[in-house]
Amino acid sequence: MSYESSLKGSAAVSHPTRIASAREKLLTDGNLPDNTVRSVITASWQRCMSSHVDPLVAKRTQELGTDELMGIRRQHKELISASEVIMREAKELLAESATIMHLVTPSGMILDYEGDPATLELARNFSLIPGANWNEQAAGTNAIGTALNIGAPVQVHAFEHFCENISRWTCSAAVIRDPFEKRLLGALNISGLKNTLHDYCLALAISGARRIEGQFAQLKLAQRDLLLGATIDHFTSSGSDGVLLFDMEGKLVRANTLADKVLAARGIKINLTPYNPILTLNSEGVFTPESERALNQIDQNWVEPVMHQGEQIGFLAIIPLPARQSQRALNTVANIPPPSKSTGFFRLVGQSPPFLKAVQQAKRIAKAPIPVLLQGETGVGKEMFAKAMHEEGPSQVGEFVALNCGGLSRDLLAGELFGHVEGAFTGARRGGMIGKIEAANGGTLFLDEIGEMPLDLQPMFLRVLQESEICRVGEARPRKVNFRLIAATNRDLAQEVAEGRFRMDLYYRISSMTLTIPPLRERKGDVSLLAQNIFAHLLEQHSGDQKRLSKPLLDLLERHSWPGNIRELGNLITAAFFLTDREELGPEDLPKDFLAAQMDSQEDDDTNPLDLAEKEVINRAIREQGGNLTQVAKQLNIAKSTLYIKLKKYGIARP
């Protein structure tokens, strides 16, 4: 349904007296002249007439006292929290425009206001203040009440207001909706006297409402992650109990693998979609509300609160299996093969606290059959973590299939993901091709750089996750698939969602649990361990010689900032390994571009690692040349006078 939200070109602006006359005619004989008043205003006036709204004065009896207002604000604390930044900006943005901004509940109650100080003071005389109710039944036609009534943005100007005492005002309002459920959260309104009418006011209200929705989405995502993190132990431990996790509204967040069996045994009917996020989304990504709160079906003796820092953040229901079926369930659990002793976690090298914490979390998450989102900079080892989790997870008996979503065209990525049948498109492989999703059936699918997946492919992949079936490109027959998803990104996907570059419903699906892998620069002491481990593998693969890395080289590596993380370190050690035949590798054996970069980033003093490395190089050359400084200068490719300066600088005695 379309509403005439903007005032541009309307009689309300060009002929305001016509609007006033039309309103009088409606009040006196119940009729309106044709084509004078916008349809959105006409419909609102008629609702006001049916509700017997006072046409002279907008009611003020709905105002709340301080204590009552505080109670209302507590009920809407998430909306207020999500709007803090926008309201703070309004204080400065509207300070000199003679307008003010209101944050409003779905019922029309003003929660907060900011803006021009003089207009804020004037607003008190008209009850445009926190605690006042501005729905249409209380205040007649106005942007707040009308926008909430029609669920769409609207401007109301001067005599378009149904109540005569507020006809000096103009206002623009847009509704705020829960980005996941699409339910009404409230509205954002911009008001000023009628001489402040501008088209941008409505645009500003709409933009502000969308930003609040984005902030609300990030807030809910953070709450979900906190709730999952606080209860992960319940989903990784073995046992015969069904485990359900609910948020504070009683919506299902997570269920363990035995939940459906336990619920069925007890005759409890709750929709447990595999990998169900906080809210159930249909195939189009639209919220489908449950018909009743899930908690109402569960014995409250099984329910315990989930606490964080003294505040309840959700509910955990631990449902015991009926006694006669417990042994069967235990046998089912016992049939899960134990993880191999050669698990990939043994190949993850490091001893720093941030790294050990990440490994500990990964081990716990690996045992839960839920999607995982690995976050971290490029080169931190996200695929190594994914492989380790696969090898200790429930899908370890299947294949580990990896695909990088970055750097591929849309069509090529679609073919790699979904596969194709012969003749599906120009260049399609003869006989068709199985896609990575299908290849991961029974195992783990690792999607790196998932934030690079094109927007139009995201709903197709979302459907695979929801329906557990896939259609190859050019094929209509669905194929059933069952795989564990581990995704990775170096982007802030929550921000990508807020800015419309990544689907919110897909983000929910892939981030049931999020694990952040620390960058190498934050892993103090791990660089030497990693370097020696990489070097040992190179020795094993390419040489039986007893090469080793010198302490000056390792000290230099420890001081590097590692923007490329472990990948950069691996490339550097590999290059040094093949560039020298010496038994002990020193700083001079590292690639010249790396040494040059280090020189540029270090201060020129005798304590930095490059000076130490240079001193070591000179001493070695002196030993190799038997103390002949002329030959030392030739070996180092520097003038003899320069060599003397460096001997003095480093306190090296002449032989």
d(CA 544, CA 159): 92
Amino acid type, 176: I
pTM over 0.75: no
Whether 594 has a pLDDT exceeding 60, the answer reads yes
CA contacts within 13 A on the Cβ side of 578: 8
In sequence order, what E strands does 519-652 have?
548-549, 584-585
The pLDDT tens digits for 239-275 are 778 888 888 777 778 888 788 888 888 887 777 754 3
SS (H, E, C) 566-584: HHHHHHHHHHHHHHCCCCE
Whether 297 has a pLDDT exceeding 70, the answer reads no
Q: What is the DSSP string of 173-239?
A: EEEEE-TTT--EEEEEEEEEEGGG--HHHHHHHHHHHHHHHHHHHHHHHHHHHHHHHHHHHHHHS-S
Give the closest residue to 38 by CA, choosing from 77, 9, 78. Answer: 9
pLDDT at 276: 43
Give the closest residue to 386 by CA, choosing from 397, 375, 654, 65. Answer: 375
pLDDT at 10: 63
The pLDDT tens digits for 55-80 are 998 876 556 778 888 989 999 999 99
Which sequence spans correspond to the domains of the chain? 11-219, 237-334, 344-518, 522-650
d(CA 281, CA 181): 9
pLDDT at 115: 92
Q: What angle do CA 412, 414, 420 make, to 5 degrees?
A: 95
pLDDT at 607: 52
The pLDDT tens digits for 74-110 are 999 999 999 999 998 888 888 778 899 999 999 999 9
The pLDDT tens digits for 44-57 are 999 999 999 999 98
Whether 650 has a pLDDT exceeding 90, the answer reads no
Mean pLDDT for the chain overall: 82
The yes/no answer on whether domain 11-219 falls in CATH 3.30.450.40 is yes
pLDDT at 84: 93
The pLDDT tens digits for 303-329 are 888 888 888 888 888 988 886 544 444
The residue length of the chain stands at: 655
Range from 119-123, 281-285, 303-307, 552-556 carrying the lowest mean pLDDT: 281-285
Give the closest residue to 474 by CA, choosing from 431, 525, 528, 522. Answer: 431
- What is the arrangement of strands in the sheet containing 372-375, beginning at the earlier edge strand? 400-404, 444-448, 484-489, 372-375, 513-516
d(CA 548, CA 556): 15
Where on the phi/psi map is residue 363: left (φ > 0), alpha (ψ -120 to 50), or beta?
Answer: alpha
- Measured in degrees and rounded to the nearest 5, phi and psi for residue 448 equal -85, 150
d(CA 571, CA 577): 10
Task: Give the DSSP H/E element, type plus range, for residue 349.
Answer: none
| Better-scored residue on pLDDT, 347 or 384 | 384
pLDDT at 14: 62
Collapsing DSSP to helix, strand or coil, 547 comes out as coil
pLDDT at 195: 82
What would the mean pLDDT of 602-613 be, rounded to a whole number?
Answer: 58
Range from 75-79, 139-143, 623-627 carrying the lowest mean pLDDT: 623-627
Give the model's confidence band at 334: pLDDT under 50 very low, under 70 low, under 90 confident, else very high: very low
Give the closest residue to 349 by CA, choosing from 489, 521, 527. Answer: 527
Report which DSSP code applies to 306: E
pLDDT at 51: 92
Instruction: Name the superfamily (CATH) of residues 344-518.
Output: P-loop containing nucleotide triphosphate hydrolases (3.40.50.300)
| Better-scored residue on pLDDT, 302 or 180 | 302
For the chain, the helix, strand and coil percentages under 3-state DSSP, each to the nearest 5? 45, 15, 35
pLDDT at 279: 39
pLDDT at 343: 53
Whether 511 has a pLDDT exceeding 70, the answer reads yes
CATH node for 522-650: 1.10.8.60
pLDDT at 443: 92
Give the closest residue to 103 by CA, choosing from 62, 65, 134, 61. Answer: 134
Whether 363 has a pLDDT exceeding 60, the answer reads yes
pLDDT at 342: 45
What would the mean pLDDT of 533-537 be, rounded to a whole number?
Answer: 87
Give the closest residue to 509 by CA, choosing from 455, 462, 467. Answer: 462
SS (H, E, C) 314-340: EEEEEECCCHHHHHHHHHHHHCCCCCC
Range from 145-154, 285-294, 489-498 carrying the lowest mean pLDDT: 285-294
What would the mean pLDDT of 166-192 be, rounded to a whole number?
Answer: 92
